[in-house]
Amino acid sequence: MKILFWLLFLIFGVTVMYAQTLDSAIEDAARGISGRLPEKSTVVVISFQSDSERLTNYVLDELNGNIANIGKVKPVERRQLNAIRSELNFNMSGDVSDESAQNIGRMLGSQYIIMGSIDFIGNQYRIRFRVITTETASIEYSFSKNIKKDTVLGSLLSGTGSTINFTPQERWGASGLNLFFGIGSFSIQKDNLGGGITAALEGLGVVSMIGSGILYEAFDAERVRRNSDGKKMYMVGSDWAYLFYGGLGSYVIGAVYGIIRAQAYNKPGSQVANSPIDNFQLNLVALDKKNTGVQITYRWKY
């Protein structure tokens, strides 16, 4: 049973470790595409299927830019694609058939066509790109990677324009660093109130424990040793022990507070809940450190 637990833990750890960010996955895809296709060939990034138009536009622009910077193949400019898009009335964030993609590729004089998508699988996102030939629609190259939901991806997926809240990694990082006088709240979350309370409680605890040890050695250690019949009983029977345990309690309270604070604290203006209903979108938004407001959005398509 223990072996099975560690095996599952290892598999989970390796999966998380190899999950990339959105930007690094796009860079890898651009390198793979540029390395696979013949030099000086022309490619067009037709579509990227996602639930967010902002994410689609971001991926199309970044992939186009990365391919252009590598310089081995020549991407079709977005303005040319946008002109065709308006003429044919197709959605770059939706599903585009191979036949439609081939027609667009021929109109733009492109030899290869790139299409992509993103899906949520388990606790990660899976990003995919596929390169097909304009003439035969045969698959020339395929790319897929797991990516984690970092601040960039979270912001693009939200589509509301509100500030993205802390990621789980940022929260646990802040919780861990808060064991050292609230450093996590100060440095990661910029939460001066939470960091200050954590630092005060933990600092008081450490000072009390160190101070009790110094005072014990200075005033009480010899008496306790004489009364302990040679037994090693540090601070037992000394009044300074109360100060030591009080300090230990203060540090523990501060540490627990710091961990909970890092998990519960929200960025001002961040989306902390989301409930879409048809064309309406209802968001709970953190207005400041203590107050939460309601944001209502209605999307009108025509």
Domain ranges of the chain: 19-158, 160-165+266-302, 170-264
- Burial of 258-276, coded b for 16+ CB within 10 Å and e otherwise, reads bbebbeebbbebbbeeeee
The SS3 of residue 148 is coil
Residue 296 near residue 271, CB atoms below 8 Å: no
CA 258 → CA 47, 173, 185, 194, 264, distances in Å?
A: 45, 11, 8, 7, 10
Strand-pair partners of 280: 277, 298
DSSP 289: S
How would you label 48-69 residue by residue, b for 16+ Cβ within 10 Å and e otherwise? Answer: bbbebebbbbbbbebbbebbee
Single-letter amino acid code for the residue at 215: L
Write down the pTM of the prediction. 0.49
SS (H, E, C) 16-75: HHHCECHHHHHHHHHHHHHHHCCCCCEEEEEEEECCCHHHHHHHHHHHHHHHHHHCCCEE
Six-digit token pair at 74? 């020549």
| Alpha-carbon separation of residue 12 from 6, 9, 16 (angstroms) | 10, 5, 6
Predicted local distance difference test score (pLDDT) of residue 92: 66
CATH number of 19-158: 3.40.50.10610
Reference 72, options 110, 34, 36; nearest CA is: 34
Residue 188 is classified by DSSP as: T
What is the residue-level pLDDT of the chain in tens, covering all 302 positions?
A: 445 444 444 444 444 445 688 999 999 999 999 999 999 999 999 889 888 888 988 999 999 999 999 999 999 988 888 877 767 766 666 667 888 888 888 999 999 999 999 988 766 789 999 999 999 999 999 999 999 888 788 778 765 444 556 778 888 999 999 999 999 999 988 899 999 999 999 999 999 999 988 888 888 777 766 666 655 556 666 778 888 899 999 999 999 999 999 998 887 655 544 444 444 454 545 555 455 565 555 555 44
